[in-house]
Structure 1
Amino acid sequence: MRTTSLGGLQVSRIGLGVMGMSAFYTGAGRDDAASIRTVQRAVDLGATHLDTAEAYGPYVNEELLGRAISGRRDQVVVATKFGLVSHTGRPGPDSTPANIRAAVEGSLRRLGTDRIDLYYQHRVDPGTPVEDTVGALGELVAAGKVRHIGLSEAASATIRRAHAVHPVAAVQTEYSLWTRDVEADVLPALRELGIGLVPYAPLGHGFLTGGIRSLDGLDANDWRRTNPRFTGGNLARNLRIVDGVSGVAAEVGATPAQVALAWLLAQGEGIAPIPGTRRADRLEENTAADGLRLTGAQITRLNELAPASGERHAAADMAAVDR
């Protein structure tokens, strides 16, 4: 697996999102032993950029990752997030310095480590100036508890304010062939500032794999059952995107998931997607995309696919992004 730089932090070009092993998706929490084996297989394959958050569960996903990397800590890049869980009793998102100081201690304990390689603000806290948040994160860097800091789903103006206080290594946001909003303002700002981009849901929450053509088979509590792009007729309309990706996949002898990831990697250096899966076979499929090369004509065809129908999140969740 080749590597790329996120603001000076070297990571595998394809990582692993651990969230779905514990929360939100069909099968979450059913077989922790298999999930741990998948994380360990990721390390074996060089997909050593591992992403979690205290809010996933909450807490249990960090604990799972901690067990998975026990004895292999120095082989991996551990990323986690704070701010959606308040340890101070404050309602709503909490990125106050006091909450950050409490949150980091819990994450370190659950992960079984003495440092976090990449520590993100999970969502921008409108009640706390980002300068105060980043100032507290800078203190954690100075103390050696955090190596690099990041933001998630932040607007370009917020990213600039944060980076002026302390270098931001990476911004995490949804980015894929069916979610390209980042290209308008955020990605140009990241390029200018030398900040990396970590696309989450790079396979469109599984949609771009081609394996979801209806909601049949999804757990009753699967998050996608309430997502606008999977409901109200949008799922059927969005199949045209999958069909376009599948056409390119057939040409190159790859899977739709591999083509979707190869398209992301073709967008330039400093982009490190973190597809999530509980299954080792899917992990192996995803990591193989690092070796797939698309032609200029194929990339153009993918670029010209129609935008997805429906918002990428429900209204309440959309209100928390791009702030």
Structure 2
Amino acid sequence: MVFGARVWKTGIAVALALYISAWLNFTPPVIAAVAAIFAMQPSIYRSWRYFLEQLQTNILGAALALLAGMFFSNNVIAIGIVCILVIIICLRMGMEETIGLTLVTVVAVMEASGEWQFAVNRFLLSLIGIGCAFLINVLFFPPKPREQFAAQIETAFGKMSLLLRTVISNEMKETVFREEKESLQGALNSLAGKYKLMEEEVKKLKRNRFSHIRHLVIYKQKLLVMNKGLEVLEAVDEHYFQATRTPQIDVYFDEHLEKLSKYHEHALLKFDDKLKADSNEGVDIEAENELFMTRLIERYNERPAGMLRLSVVAAAMYDYGYQVARLDKLVEHYHRGETEEKEPFDLLLKSIRLK
């Protein structure tokens, strides 16, 4: 578990909510603390959206609880029925994330047995907690999904590069390989979450300038290439070692996979502007990728034993190489300037569906 900024911000938001509640003589302050815990979100956009949605559902929940409390007091069956109604309404409104905190407000208000002063008190406690979480999230170490994505993809590629360079030669211990591959899968899942946060910010916060969009396109392709690399590892693990093969085949696959991994690294470094412009001059990974498949198909026509399984691995490698080459082209156009890059970037903009 990583103790990041969100952990510290949650603690600060809880402390601030408790302090403000005590200063205003609102009781019990624990409601504000619970609200602050629920309201801490991983991005500015989600914090703002959560704040607005909680404001709507909490007003609705408090109103229903106040009416029910006036007629049924704090009857436990009535509390349960109101909770069911609030859940249904939140689901109908498409605000599933607000259900937990809204129910806390409902129970707290109905505990007051219809006394509107107590109901308002408990409602304001929830708003204090939500507001504190939002302010702390914005003012202290605001979430930066783009920077986090860049740092995490560098770490994830380091893991994947090691696995790709050793998977064919089978140099890594089996237990270590399994652990590293599971760690890589977890890292890619985390990257997917970070990309979703970036995509939400570009779509919902009106950051539809081309400079933001082109970054989003490249990050989307980066994530796709990483997943294609993982597919290669899974294909090798599932099919390669079960196939009948020769030492020459091992060398052939190992050398090509190493070329693809190295070219992937070059594309990432080129995007970060860490390589010279002509660092890949003379290297045509697409041609080498096609040559790799052509030679394999020629061998497949001879129908040597095990070639069917090897063709599955080869197809995964070819797809990985194709997506790496595509990433490299996007990076080149990115560095050349907006005028020249717009056409190739438009090819991927459709998949993002910016409104």
User: Same fold by TM (over 0.5)?
Assistant: no
Greater relative contact order structure (CA < 8 Å, 6+ sep): 1
Q: TM-score range by the shorter chain?
A: under 0.3
TM-score (norm 1): 0.25
TM-score (norm 2): 0.23
Q: Tell which structure's C-alpha radius of gyration is larger.
A: 2
| Structure whose residues are more often helix by fraction | 2
| Structure whose residues are more often strand by fraction | 1
